[in-house]
Amino acid sequence: MDRLDAAAIVVPGVEVRVVERCGSTNDLALQSRAPLLIAAEEQTAGRGRRGRRWHSALGASITFSLARRISRPARELPALSLVAGVAVARALRALGVPVRLKWPNDLEVEGAKLGGILVETRGGSHAVIGIGVNCARAGGLQAKVGRSMAFLRDFTAAARNQVIQRIAQGLVAALSEFEKQGLEALRSEWQALHAHAGQRLRVQLADGRTLSGIATGIGADGSLQIHTARGVRAVTSGRVVSARTA
């Protein structure tokens, strides 16, 4: 197992810490008001969107969180998961990983889940962006998650320290783009990476209802645009539960 080492993860302007074990790197990062990256060898209470559990075995994944103040209006911060998705995809694709993005916060390779992103905000401008990527196959992981999984080691031998550094440096750059121009700076790139572009989707909305239609892209606010029989609908909160060729 290649061990995490804070000294081997250089992100200009950001303090880097590595912990052996913690409940959640997001929880630790939320305690800091200064730019901070915390990576963990193992998370015992990692979580995804809407309280779902993020499974993380010792040394078998990349789990880290970046805390940073974001200079954009609070109403625009929900788009941060899309900004982070572009940054992660840029870094991993440069390493030969053919990752694509599933709205709003999943990383996929040929329909299998490679990782995910969890963004949490405090005080209107302080954001913590948590990144989780499966690295090596761990016993029973797919059974626990209940879906097909992808693993970084199937595509690259890059050390985890190197992968974290590349993602984090790219994330800082993408956040700077977002601060200057908003989501528009990255929207076309996100759409080019969309795993379900042009597919017929079934989306479970936040209130439990479902919506079906063709995915046409994302709006200026980061909403998923779905072309239905009644016209285009903008989904701001929901989960894609199925996708097929239109």
The mean pLDDT of the chain is: 92
Look up tokens 């956040």; give the residue. 175
Residue range 164-194, pLDDT digits in tens: 999 999 999 999 999 999 999 999 999 999 9
Task: Give residue 140's pLDDT.
Answer: 59
> In whole angstroms, what is the distance from residue 72 CA to residue 68 CA?
12
**Whether the bond into 104 is cis, omega within 30 of 0:** yes
> In whole angstroms, what is the distance from residue 194 CA to residue 100 CA?
6
Residue range 134-165, pLDDT digits in tens: 998 876 555 566 678 999 999 999 999 999 99
**φ and ψ at residue 35, rounded to 5 degrees:** -55, 125
Task: Give residue 184's pLDDT.
Answer: 97
Amino acid letter for position 196:
H
Residues 6+ apart with CB under 8 A from 8: 159, 161, 162, 165
Q: Which residues pair with 132 in a beta bridge?
A: 63, 116
Residues 6+ apart with CB under 8 A from 181: none
What are the chain's domains? 6-192 (3.30.930.10), 199-245 (2.30.30.100)
Task: Give residue 96's pLDDT.
Answer: 97
Band (pLDDT 50/70/90 cuts) for residue 238 is very high
**DSSP 3-state of 1:** coil
Task: Give residue 2's pLDDT.
Answer: 86
Task: Give residue 139's pLDDT.
Answer: 62
| pTM for this model (two decimals) | 0.93
Residues 6+ apart with CB under 8 A from 44: 21, 22, 23
Least confident of 136-140, 178-182, 201-205, 213-217: 136-140
| Residue 237 pLDDT > 70 | yes
Do the beta carbons of residue 42 and residue 25 sit within 8 Å? no
- Find the mean pLDDT for residues 82-94: 98
Residue range 96-110, pLDDT digits in tens: 999 999 999 999 999
**DSSP 3-state of 35:** coil
Task: Give residue 99's pLDDT.
Answer: 98
Do the beta carbons of residue 135 and residue 151 sit within 8 Å? yes
Do the beta carbons of residue 134 and residue 115 sit within 8 Å? yes
